[in-house]
Amino acid sequence: MRIIADRNIPLLPSLLAEQELVQVDAREISADSLTQADALVVRSVTQVDSRLLTGSSVRFVATATSGVDHVDLPWLANSGIAFSSAAGANATAVADYVMAAFSWYLQSTGKRPEQLRCGIVGIGHVGTEVLRRFRALGCMTLACDPPRQESGDSLASNFEGLSALSVCDVVSVHVPLISSGRHATVGLIDGAFLRALPRGALLINTSRGGVLNERDASRILTVRKDIRLVLDVFAGEPCADPSLVRVTGLITPHIAGYSRLAKHLAARQVAKALMGFFELAVPPSNEGADSTDQMRLELVTGQPDEVWQVALKSFDLTAISDTFKSSIKRGNSEEVFDSLRKQCSERPEYSECSAGGQMTASASDYMAGLGFAVGRESGRS
């Protein structure tokens, strides 16, 4: 069986060792390369549609991502091509990103989590984990997910409409990109929502660029300079609109879901789905190989303010954003977009970092709430 796969998906050579695996740079996957392929495994960089697959022998497509807006699912279904994604594989990695952005906000404003109202738009795999962490930090939380609420899910009975979240100090967006229908999300975060945000609010978008109306954001945030905007996604990736960049506090090259653990889990999920479709023996899982010795983080002052410094140092969004912004000014953002993503693919998650030292009780609770491992031996004062 011949499989064409993005070369930046880890583990596939070992997971698919008995198959003919051809690894290709994502931007070089083309219709010509798929004429004799049985399966295709991609990431979000590759657009999978009729232009790519017409005339190919591909019977199965998988994406090692949670988002699927780069895949024409109706066309695949009509063409009899099976599909699988890695839904949920990057949930903890994206939640780490949101917590790093939140720590940046707390560090720059001097606020405490329990003083803040935090809204989460989209309560799927990622949104659920982000909601859990905000609550663990002591924030008052509001959740919005109309499709889930309408499904009759009892857990969604207390969800709010989007407009209710405009009172929140922090809003984090985790919805799929849907272009039409009752629950379309294109331009969901628009000028009206931005204008209604309280003074000094933080908006984080790690979902898809089209969810934010970028024209509205550029115009309104030029006036509302008090609003802090953190973007990991934007229309036209890998090239961002300079007018949008000028109003962002942090902008990063779609790396929120990039961690070593997330990448490995996604690879295992799609390999298992592929092997199942073709009725091949699934190789034994070796998830223990993902384990590494925990990184030790020693707090010096043990005060809550140091927590935000440690969280941001462990996932340095500021440095990544500075590098990416500089590349946009120089005009080589596409090259830097890819190189930064490659660098971030090996980053450890917060859960792989063990916090210790002489911490106050509140600092210890904050570290645990953010997602760090906090040992019982950590001192409390």
120 in Cβ contact with 144 (< 8 Å): yes
Neighbour-count burial of 323, counting CB atoms closer than 10 A to its CB (0-12 exposed, 13-18 middle, 19+ buried): middle
pTM above 0.85, yes or no: yes
254 is catalytic: yes
Name the one residue in this structure whose structure tokens are 């999920």: 269
User: Residue 21 in 3-state DSSP?
Assistant: strand
Q: Are 119 and 145 in contact (CB under 8 A)?
A: no
Q: Residues with Cβ < 8 Å from 196, sequence gap 6 or more?
A: 163, 166, 167
Of the candidates 43, 125, 208, 228, the residue annotated as catalytic is 208
Q: What is the CB neighbour count within 10 angstroms for residue 169?
A: 20
Confidence of residue 173 (pLDDT cuts 50, 70, 90): very high
What pLDDT, in 10s, does the model give residues 69-98? 899 999 999 999 999 999 999 999 999 999
Question: Of the residues 174, 254, 264, 341, which is catalytic?
Answer: 254
List, in order of start, the domains of the chain with CATH numbers.
Answer: 2-85+259-283 (3.40.50.720), 91-251 (3.40.50.720), 293-333+341-380 (3.30.1370)
Q: Which two tokens stand for residue 291?
A: 């384990």
Classify residue 66 by burial, with Cβ atoms within 10 Å: 0-12, 13-18, 19+.
Answer: buried
**pLDDT higher at 374 or 289:** 374
pLDDT of residue 380 exceeding 70: no
| pLDDT in the model for residue 209 | 94
Catalytic residue (choose from 7, 70, 237, 334): 237
Percent of the chain with pLDDT over 90: 81
DSSP-assigned states of every residue in 108-163: HH---GGG-EEEEE--SHHHHHHHHHHHHTT-EEEEE-HHHHHTT-GGGTT---GG
- Mean pLDDT (the chain, rounded): 92
Contacts of 32 (CB under 8 A, 6+ apart): none
Sign of the C-alpha dihedral computed for residues 161, 167, 173 and 174 taken in this order: negative
Element (H, E) at 353: strand 353-359
How does residue 301 score in pLDDT terms, banded at 50, 70 and 90?
confident
The residues, ordered by sequence, that sit 6+ positions from 374 with a Cβ below 8 Å of its Cβ are: 354, 355, 356, 364, 367, 368
Residue 237 among the catalytic residues: yes
The secondary structure of residue 48, as a DSSP letter, is B
